[in-house]
Amino acid sequence: MKKQVDNSNMLQKWTRREVLAAAGGAALLGLSGCGANSQPPTSHPTSTTTVISTSTAPPATRTPLPETPITLAFTGDVMFGRTVNDHMLATASNDPYPFTYTGDFLRGFDLTTGNLECVISNLGAPVPKSYNFRGDARAYDRLLGAGFDLVSVANNHSGDYGKDAFLDEFLTLSKRGLAPIGGGKNKQQAHTPVFKEVRGTTIAFLAYDQIDPYSFAATDTVPGSAWLTEADLRRDIAAARPSADFVIAFVHWGIEYFTGIADQQRYLARVAIDSGADMVVGAHPHVIEPYEFYKGKMIVYSLGNFVFDNMLDEVVRRGNILALTVQKNRLLEWKLVPTRIGDWGEPLLL
């Protein structure tokens, strides 16, 4: 069970067993959008319910615990390469960096997910491209210590050191208790949803990359990430829908440093929802992009950076954590929690 926390920087506390009603969030820097078919979700404040069973009856005859809301968090890009990795190696083995100021908050959620924008492996050599990001293996402990449960490997840096390094990271994540989404030993596995069931609600996570190199994508016989196509998006979501209460697509897409919404992003987000997704969350542009509602379903086009270095201006220092309260197929509450990257690529809550 994740640690319950009371973060003085936040208006409400999100824990495994209680949810205080929260007002809907607004996109940072005033970036918000609404399509012609958009509408906000209905807000249903929930009461706190904690059930403690003291029955001595056999498990088969115990009364099932009632379904209660669960909480989820999504962060943008988490990058352990370059100067972030250098500083991590200079810290003590039990140091929480780069989550010194956000770990307590993230541990308060039932499920925490981020985009792992690097390779954590000592295998392979850098592939020819402009930037290659590699992190030391102690990054696994830092992610676990901050409360991460899942990470997306569907991005344009997961293959920076070749297929052997990708597969090493993918397999190690699972062994360490971090569920990788959007990747696999082959295309079939990369496009298979990861299901997480918490207190009667089952969430299906799918992740995709649309940013080159295309060679990082998995094939029928080669490991890699899930490449985003309309056909695969429709098929994967339709396949996940019958087994999940709430389906989320986490997508690596868009135009770097563009604070608007590209037409293709909006089109594919709506394809996802029309196919049965309950929410679409985006990353990659390194800046916050707007959110909107389509057919009552939330689309967050980019959460921006979370852990990153080379902060050249204030816009790229800013990011959002998407905090959700879900029960079955209902989005009860949501909030965009602003962050700012400070020294050594480390985020702080605002």
Give 110-169 pLDDT, tens digit per residue.
999 999 999 999 999 999 999 999 999 999 999 999 999 999 999 999 999 999 999 999
What confidence score (pLDDT) does residue 46 get? 32
pLDDT tier at 274, thresholds 50, 70, 90: very high
Average pLDDT over residues 264-286: 98
For residues 253 and 262, what is the distance between their CA atoms, to the nearest angstrom? 9
Half-sphere exposure of 233 (CA within 13 A, CB side): 25
Instruction: Give the max Cα distance, the chain.
Output: 62
Is it true that the peptide bond before 45 is cis, omega within 30 degrees of 0?
A: no
Q: 132 to each of 168, 184, 211, 213, 229, how far by Cα in Å?
A: 17, 20, 14, 12, 25
Range of the domain at 104: 67-343
Task: Give per-residue pLDDT as tens, 209-244.
Answer: 999 999 999 999 999 999 999 999 999 999 999 999
- Is there a domain that residue 261 lies in? yes
- Is there a domain that residue 44 lies in? no
How would you classify the pairing of strands 318-327 and 330-341? antiparallel
DSSP state of 215: G
Radius of gyration of the chain (CA): 19
Q: Is the pLDDT reported for residue 56 higher than 70?
A: no
Strands (DSSP E) contained in 213-287 are 224-225, 246-252, 279-283
For residues 327 and 247, what is the distance between their CA atoms, to the nearest angstrom? 12
- Is there a domain that residue 38 lies in? no
Average pLDDT over residues 174-193: 98
Contact criterion met (CB below 8 Å) for 306 and 319: yes
What confidence score (pLDDT) does residue 67 get? 77
Report how many domains make up the chain: 1
For residues 291 and 27, what is the distance between their CA atoms, to the nearest angstrom? 7
Tell me what the pLDDT averaged over the chain comes to. Answer: 86
pLDDT tier at 2, thresholds 50, 70, 90: low
Q: Is the pLDDT reported for residue 78 higher than 90?
A: yes
- Is there a domain that residue 179 lies in? yes
- Is there a domain that residue 216 lies in? yes
Q: Which of 125, 184, 190 is nearest to 160 (CA)?
A: 125
* 3 or 307, which is more confident: 307
Q: Is the pLDDT reported for residue 245 higher than 90?
A: yes
For residues 181 and 281, what is the distance between their CA atoms, to the nearest angstrom? 13
Read off the amino acid at residue 172: T
For residues 82 and 85, what is the distance between their CA atoms, to the nearest angstrom? 6
- Is there a domain that residue 305 lies in? yes
| CATH number, domain with residue 122 | 3.60.21.10
Entry pTM = 0.83
- Is there a domain that residue 9 lies in? no
What confidence score (pLDDT) does residue 22 get? 32
Q: Is the pLDDT reported for residue 306 higher than 70?
A: yes
Q: Is the pLDDT reported for residue 15 higher than 50?
A: no
For residues 290 and 283, what is the distance between their CA atoms, to the nearest angstrom? 12
How big is the CA angle at 277 (ends 176 and 196), to the nearest 5 degrees?
Answer: 25
For residues 286 and 40, what is the distance between their CA atoms, to the nearest angstrom? 26
Share of the chain above pLDDT 90, in %: 80
What confidence score (pLDDT) does residue 312 get? 84
What confidence score (pLDDT) does residue 37 get? 34
- Is there a domain that residue 29 lies in? no
Q: Is the pLDDT reported for residue 104 higher than 80?
A: yes
